[in-house]
Structure 1
């Protein structure tokens, strides 16, 4: 199969400076796997578990208005968890258990059921070959606002380090987490190529941090953040690897 060419948007790319790249930072959700099918499946598994172990809570969990109320309550009651996706999910479950009059201690095993399924991701077909290629050439640092653990996913061997917004204290597009990722790789920010799908969180964040940006634009969206411009726009990770070969 022919490798797709780099994808063009209405804003021309800057072009990669290949000789400057000494490390890679890499987004996870929607870059290496589609996130929403994973979350929806994990929520179904959690609901099944609650049906057995906390049926009153399970009944509440089927009401979208109650779920929305739980999320809103967490935003108000636990602003310290704003970046902690695991903490927010666990405490939302605990709030539902308390609301239903069931044991709030069940929040811990319930969350673990959800979290285990959340890590049963289905990688995009280009993800593993790209990871193997990138890791053979550069230190690769995972950089995510989510809560996926690359080791639990089963791809940890390809990563030099992993940073998450919840653990670091700020998330993308804040330049501090990008700079921390560069430091974890042992290089300066301008020596990093960041790869990610989100034009704002990944794109604007990396460019403002002084990194080169490879924007993974699988759906062909227009770039809407001029005068900032990606160094490279690709439709898949095969095209990215081809571009890095020079």
Structure 2
């Protein structure tokens, strides 16, 4: 599959994924869940023990979405509701769901940036307005990088998740440009790459793990790089 040609002359703004683009997400989530379990262990020990069971967590989340479809795109509300259900099943106080979630959320903001992230953010933000565009619930201001961004967009704000074209359109609107004037940068071929392309954006795929672009996706990205350092060199 031949890739479309990247046209930097069209680019007036950048939308940028966060998780696994600026930092590895799963170590962050695992630390946050560990912090939450530790907090619960002194207040709701049964729920704390069961919270590490992925099958139970999946069942509770599926049930929460089935009963409350509106929270499917709001990771915070979904996790809180799953926690509440876990506490009820454990015969422990469901009111603990909110403070337990706050422990998780606070720890979720403690990320370990990739070594090339800050340099890239400085270089990109000096040239373009940047809008954070993530399906996650990291807060760029609490992470400490908010000053690089014009705005931040996620499903809790828009009601849509990547690869839905509407979340990309919302991010372009925050930058004050049309989707055709945006370069989207992210690590997920389907959510970031195919989603941005379908929304009319140009896209660069950050492929840190040397993966193949999925053959089932109809269009290749405009460019592929192995790091944010390589991205900055490409965009010079």
Q: TM-score range by the shorter chain?
A: over 0.9
Unaligned runs of 5+ in 2: none
Cα RMSD of the aligned pairs, angstroms, is 1.4
Unaligned runs of 5+ in 1: 1-10
Distance 2:219 2:49 in 1: 48
Q: Which residue of 2 aligns with 1:207?
A: 197
Q: Are the aligned partners of 1:170 and 1:176 in contact in 2 as well (CA < 8 Å)?
A: yes
Q: How far off its partner does 1:227 sit?
A: 3.8
The reply to whether residue 184 of structure 1 matches residue 181 of structure 2 is no
Q: Are the aligned partners of 1:13 and 1:233 in contact in 2 as well (CA < 8 Å)?
A: no
Distance 1:216 1:29 in 2: 12
The reply to whether residue 236 of structure 1 matches residue 236 of structure 2 is no
Distance 1:192 1:238 in 2: 20
Q: How far off its partner does 1:12 sit?
A: 4.2
The runs of 4+ residues in structure 1 deviating greater than 4 Å are none
Distance 1:232 1:83 in 2: 29
When normalised by structure 2's length, the TM-score is 0.95
Q: 1:173 to 1:96 in 2, by over 3 A?
A: same
Tell me, what secondary structure is at the counterpart of 1:167? helix
Q: Which residue of 2 aligns with 1:138?
A: 128
Q: Are the aligned partners of 1:33 and 1:121 in contact in 2 as well (CA < 8 Å)?
A: yes
Q: Are the aligned partners of 2:3 and 2:219 in contact in 1 as well (CA < 8 Å)?
A: no
More RCO (CA 8 Å, sep 6+): 1
Q: Which residue of 2 aligns with 1:156?
A: 146
Q: Which residue of 2 aligns with 1:89?
A: 79
Distance 1:197 1:71 in 2: 25
Q: 1:226 to 1:59 in 2, by over 3 A?
A: closer
The reply to whether residue 197 of structure 1 matches residue 187 of structure 2 is yes
Q: How far off its partner does 1:183 sit?
A: 1.2
Residues matched between the structures, number = 235
Deviations 1:189-217 (A, max 9, x none): 11110000111111111111111111111
